Amino acid sequence: MNISKGERPLESGVRTDFRDAMSYGSYLRLDLILGAQQPLSAPAHHDEMLFIIQHQTSELWLKLMLHELRAARDLLDADQLSWSLKRLARVKRILETMTEQWSVLATMTPSEYAEFRTILGPSSGFQSYQYRAVEFMLGNKNADMLAVFEADPPAHETLHTLLEEPSLYDAFLRMLARRGYAIPADLLDRDVRQAWVEAPDLIPVFEGVYDDPAVAWDVYEACEDLVDLEDAFQFWRFRHLRTVQRMIGTQPGTGGSSGVPFLRRALDLTFFPELYSVRARIGG
């Protein structure tokens, strides 16, 4: 065999025949994934491919995030706090990746986006059921959102199920109660279909955790991990807002929302408010 200078020879053990064996592409179903980018602009605008891939990859990360959040909640239910925190650590890294991903879409100028925006019709990221599912898992529940997904029965069923189930925070508080923490009974018995709102009676519980972290270091660590998780989610929201603002300014969103003002209001939402409020009492 003649090998040209600089060429790396194929090792003798490397398999090359996959006619009757599973290959990398077949395992990952790359035929489906790489065939799913179908620009609708005619002629196809160069930047529509970026727009499609940006959102498709976001949906894949959201799918993994839901997978990890469900596992984290189940592990809390099983009193396996350390394993649950391992799952949440992965969620934080996913959010960091998704936040950085906005920088790629931000390379698209308003003029370039305007070339194909009209072909999106009323479709919008607002209609991402997986994003809503993540919010439901984290406690920001809103039954009215289910109406958006009535035309998509599987998505509607997913959200309805999560609406009826305890959130990650509910599971955390129930685990603390089983460990002897004085979680108010009304919080343990609350209607989990409702969005979480700050419970002042819960703050003294966390104040005790922060006053002496050594008593239960894993609980202290869990509180900080939840704050990390919310911060990561808020950074993702903020980067989304700034990217949208950069691309469409004050124009309304394609799905009928007000656009940037709608996204800005989302920054006021919080998943674990007591873990922020308790900070005003530490070291005072």
Give the Å distances, CA to CA, from 86 to 59, 113, 182: 22, 39, 26
Let me know if residue 109 belongs to a domain. yes
Give residue-wise pLDDT tens across range 156-210. 999 999 999 999 999 999 999 999 999 999 999 999 999 999 999 999 999 999 9
Let me know if residue 77 belongs to a domain. yes
- The token duo for 100 is 């950085």
Let me know if residue 39 belongs to a domain. no
Give residue-wise pLDDT tens across range 81-109. 999 999 999 999 999 999 999 999 999 99
CB 40 within 8 A of CB 105: no
Compute the 3-state secondary structure of the chain and give helix, strand, coil in percent, each to the nearest 5.
Answer: 65, 0, 35
Q: Write the CATH number for 210.
A: 1.20.58.480
Closest CA to 163 of 196, 128, 202, 186: 196
Least confident of 1-5, 133-137, 178-182: 1-5
Give residue-wise pLDDT tens across range 31-73. 999 999 999 999 999 999 999 999 999 999 999 999 999 999 9
Residue 157 has a CB neighbour count (10 Å cut-off) of 13
Domain of 158, in residue numbers = 44-249+256-280
What is the band of 2 on the pLDDT scale with cuts at 50, 70, 90?
A: low
Q: DSSP letter at 7? A: P
Let me know if residue 185 belongs to a domain. yes
Let me know if residue 3 belongs to a domain. no
CB 142 within 8 A of CB 196: no
Binding-site residues from annotation: 51-55, 113, 117, 240, 254
Least confident of 12-21, 235-244, 251-260: 251-260
Let me know if residue 173 belongs to a domain. yes
Instruction: Give how many domains the chain has, as a whole number.
Output: 1
Binding-site residues from annotation for heme: 240
Residue 116 pLDDT > 60: yes
Residue 159 has a CB neighbour count (10 Å cut-off) of 24
Let me know if residue 275 belongs to a domain. yes
Binding-site residues from annotation for substrate: 51-55, 113, 117, 254
pLDDT at 7: 79
Let me know if residue 28 belongs to a domain. no
